[in-house]
Amino acid sequence: METIGIGVIGCGGMGRSLATSAHAVEGIEVVTVSDLQESLAKKLAEDLGATYTVDYHELLADDSIRAVLIASPPFLHSPMAVDAATAGKHVFSEKPMAPTLDACDAMIAAATENSVKLTIGLVCRYHATHSAVREIVRSGELGAPVCMMVHRIGGPWRSGGHHTPWRLQRAKSGGSLMEINAHEIDFMRWTCGDVASVYAAGGQYLQQESDYPDVVLASLQFKNGAVGLLHSSHVSAVGGYGGRVDCEGGSLYFPQIWGGDATIQIKPFDSESRHLKIADIKVPPPVQEEIRVFVDAIRNDTPPPVTGVDGRAAVEIALAAYQSVESGQPVALPIGQ
């Protein structure tokens, strides 16, 4: 098997996760890691037997590196991805793709113009619950989807590693609908199809240090006629992550995405329920798997399973929700720049 040399840009928590996951995949060599905080880059390089630099342009100049994993703050994804593509490197960018559509479009254009692969780290596609729910819905076993509801809720970011200045600014992070809920938006679109319009309500209630809503209820109208509801929140003292899909012939209920005795209940209208215990659904380690399939796309010269178009779509739906919260009106897609 051909070994693919990888560079990692950004050595914080997500960058470390990507780098260590890539290091564990056969046929991948993490060559160089980069971060402006030299201590982070040096420690990760030492742990992986790689080299490090504080200037990612040095990493891009290395001919032994064929692809980069970008795990910088979201507002830096686009310029770094464009630089990487221009240098002829294939690009894996963490979600959200970028906080603006212009920035997403620049990434897609650079990848196309330089004939490199571009994928976005929407890793929930590789988790057991998300992939099983989507597979059952798309199988047609329960008929066409009619309504999908997903909630991902918790309390405010008051302290700790998440409480960083860029994370509290929508222009830099994309706000919660992009930085966190890119996963849920993508999950809903992956399961039910493209979105035609978004109507959302919400506001800023507890997390006053940020500049974006800490509660959003976003209603999605899918092009196939189905409807969806995403509940995003930083105001709940009792957190949760789960949902349901109601179809023409029955329903799937997954009140808890993972942990404990979490299950997916599948109930046709005309027969008894069955339950899938999530812990029994065997999938490869999700972060390793999203990197492995990206590298396989490079090796085989095939499109990656998650494309720049997918990453852009999640950003556009989030932007439409923000616009709807501000205007009080539904927002049709595509939206203006």
Please write the tens of the pLDDT for every residue from 159-197: 554 568 899 999 999 999 999 999 999 999 999 999 999
Please state the CATH superfamily assignment of the domain spanning residues 125-283+316-332 in this structure. Answer: Dihydrodipicolinate Reductase; domain 2 (3.30.360.10)
**∠ Cα 216 221 222 (to 5°):** 125
> pTM of the full predicted structure?
0.97
Mean pLDDT of 119-124: 98
Beta-carbon count within 10 A of 164 CB: 14
pLDDT band at 204 (very low <50, low <70, confident <90, very high): very high
Condensed to tens digits (0 to 9), the pLDDT of residues 33-74 reads 999 999 999 999 999 999 999 999 999 999 999 999 999 999
Predicted confidence at residue 115, as pLDDT, reads: 98
* Domain residue ranges in the chain: 4-123+286-306, 125-283+316-332
Q: Are 97 and 333 in contact (CB under 8 A)?
A: no
pLDDT given at position 254: 98
Which pLDDT score, from 0 to 100, does residue 1 have?
81
Quick check: 336 pLDDT over 60? yes
Helices marked H in the chain — which ranges? 13-23, 38-48, 56-60, 74-86, 101-113, 128-139, 170-173, 175-179, 182-192, 286-300, 308-327
For residue 90, what pLDDT band results from cuts at 50, 70 and 90? very high
Average pLDDT (304-322) is 98
pLDDT at 159: 54
pLDDT at 91 over 70: yes
pLDDT band at residue 218 using 50, 70 and 90 as cut-offs: very high
CATH, domain 4-123+286-306, list 3.40.50.300, 3.40.50.1100, 3.40.50.720, 3.40.50.740: 3.40.50.720
Distances, alpha carbon 141 to alpha carbons 90, 183, 274, in Å? 38, 25, 13
Which tokens is 79 given?
């310029």
